[in-house]
Amino acid sequence: MPANIPPQAKAAEQRYINAKTLPEKIQYLQEFISSIPEHKGNEKMRGYLRRRLAKLKEEQDLQRRRKATGSGGGGFSIKKEGAAQIVILGTTGAGKSSILGSLTNAKVEVGDHLFATKEPAPGMLRYEDIQFQLLDTPAMFKGAYKGAAWGAQLLSLARNADGLLIVLDATDAVGQFNTIVKELTLAGITLDKRTRKIEIERSNGGGFQVACTGRILCGVDEIERVLKEAGVRNAIVRIWGDATKEDLMESLEQTRIYKPSLILINKADLVPNAPAEFEMATKRGAIGTSARLNRGLADVNKRLFESLGILRIYTKEVGGEPAKKPIIVKSGATVSDIAKIVHSQFFKQFKLARIWGSSVNYGGERVGSDHILEDKDIVEIRIK
């Protein structure tokens, strides 16, 4: 914040940062904004804060509507099992339940009648040595984001998932896709990974950690202040290249969370060229499937794995065999990330690691803690 901010504005800012409830936040943010002098140097700041205020009001609106429809808002989740939880999304009759039934041994209800599926039914899908948990869900519908019927639960499931399997009916694939994307967007979920200068990953504890491969052109205390104003108390902030405080504010405003996804154009037996047409129209890849004829399903596990951007890492003790079960991490993970997961001791007293796998030139190569891993790497950690 510019230096010419009067003390009452600073006090208002502090009240806003400390506010616990949404109405309080809105009130104090309003006070904060009106206490900042209208001055050319403050324009960016005021603009940013006004947009935050609009966001908070929108959030309050959404909460009120959810209460009014009695659907209880978000927070709905199913216990995760396996390497990743995948939520199947699609409009009524697209073939979600049929797909789950064909891919897994889950007992599902397939029906022509509307809304046959009312509760998420889980099934496990194997890929080599790991399994994905697939959740069948009730139909996605126009206005789901407002929270009516099971809309709130459905979107809350999607938000908590590691990935989405979008099932479209080949007879109206593009139309259904647009409906789904619209609801997801309104609910703060995006299917597109953005390349950004700054990424803010919220965490449950641990305060702020800043991981730079670039520079932020403001002080660490300023980063913390901007984050706290946005209600973020614990986060890992990653910075690439030179980033300004404005870049930080911008990335905070993009509150949409990214979900990896795989798109199936089902009932391709009825419209065989639907997948190609879909790809032309949307510039997105899709797999043509037929749950009825059991076609196109063999690759779904592999394609899901690839779209999730995860790695399987096998740890090994000195002189021992690699672990049978892999540790699942996000691509880009380093040896140090593995050390943290295995034992804090491995992280604190890390000396070196030996790697067997595609991230090294030869089996048993010695690497440091910042070595970036690849799928199927075997890691042996040596401590001091």
Q: Which residues bind ligand GDP (CB under 6 A)?
A: 90, 92-98, 110-112, 116-117, 139, 266-267, 269-270, 290-292
Q: Considering the complex, state which of residue 153 and residue 251 has its C-beta at the smaller distance from ligand GDP.
A: 153
What is the distance between the alpha carbons of residues 2 and 256, in angstroms, rounded to a whole number? Answer: 29
Which of these, 336, 317, 327, 304, lies nearest to 376 by C-alpha position? 327
Shortest spacing between CB 88 and ligand GDP, in angstroms? 8
What is the distance between the alpha carbons of residues 84 and 133, in angstroms, rounded to a whole number? Answer: 6
Stretch that binds Mg ion, among 22-30, 112-120, 142-150, 298-306 (CB under 5 A): 112-120
Residue 40: CB atoms within 10 Å? 6
Q: Considering the complex, state which of residue 53 and residue 106 has its C-beta at the smaller distance from Mg ion.
A: 106
Show the tokens assigned to 91. 């409009």
Q: Considering the complex, state which of residue 22 and residue 116 has its C-beta at the smaller distance from ligand GDP.
A: 116
Shortest spacing between CB 306 and Mg ion, in angstroms? 26
Q: Considering the complex, state which of residue 91 and residue 156 has its C-beta at the smaller distance from ligand GDP.
A: 91
Shortest spacing between CB 131 and ligand GDP, in angstroms? 22
Residue 330: CB atoms within 10 Å? 11
Phi, psi of 358 (to 5 degrees): -75, -10
Shortest spacing between CB 92 and ligand GDP, in angstroms? 5
Q: Considering the complex, state which of residue 212 and residue 270 has its C-beta at the smaller distance from ligand GDP.
A: 270
Q: With contacts defined by CB under 5 A, how many residues of the chain interact with Mg ion? A: 4
Residue 93's binding partner out of Mg ion, ligand GDP, none, with CB under 5 to 8 Å set by partner kind: ligand GDP
Phi, psi of 347 (to 5 degrees): -75, -45
Residue 290's binding partner out of ligand GDP, Mg ion, none, with CB under 5 to 8 Å set by partner kind: ligand GDP
Cα Rg for the chain, rounded, in angstroms? Answer: 24
What is the distance between the alpha carbons of residues 231 and 202, in angstroms, rounded to a whole number? Answer: 11
Report the site for Mg ion in 44-103 (rule: CB under 5 A): 96-97
DSSP secondary structure string for all residues of 243-270: E-HHHHHHHHH--PEE--EEEEEE-TTT
Return the residue matching tokens 């989405």: 164
Shortest spacing between CB 269 and ligand GDP, in angstroms? 5
Shortest spacing between CB 14 and ligand GDP, in angstroms? 51
Q: Considering the complex, state which of residue 104 and residue 290 has its C-beta at the smaller distance from ligand GDP.
A: 290
Residue 112's binding partner out of ligand GDP, Mg ion, none, with CB under 5 to 8 Å set by partner kind: ligand GDP
Shortest spacing between CB 168 and ligand GDP, in angstroms? 10
Q: Considering the complex, state which of residue 75 and residue 111 has its C-beta at the smaller distance from ligand GDP.
A: 111
Shortest spacing between CB 175 and ligand GDP, in angstroms? 15
**117 belongs to the binding site for Mg ion (CB under 5 A):** yes
Q: Considering the complex, state which of residue 137 and residue 369 has its C-beta at the smaller distance from ligand GDP.
A: 137
Show the tokens assigned to 31. 């006070």
Which of these, 363, 328, 373, lies nearest to 83 by C-alpha position? 328
Please write down the long-range contacts of 366-371, taking CB distance under 8 Å and 24 or more positions apart: 367/335, 368/335, 369/334, 369/335, 369/336, 369/339, 370/334, 370/335, 370/336, 371/334, 371/335
User: Which chain residues interact with Mg ion by CB under 5 A?
Assistant: 96-97, 116-117
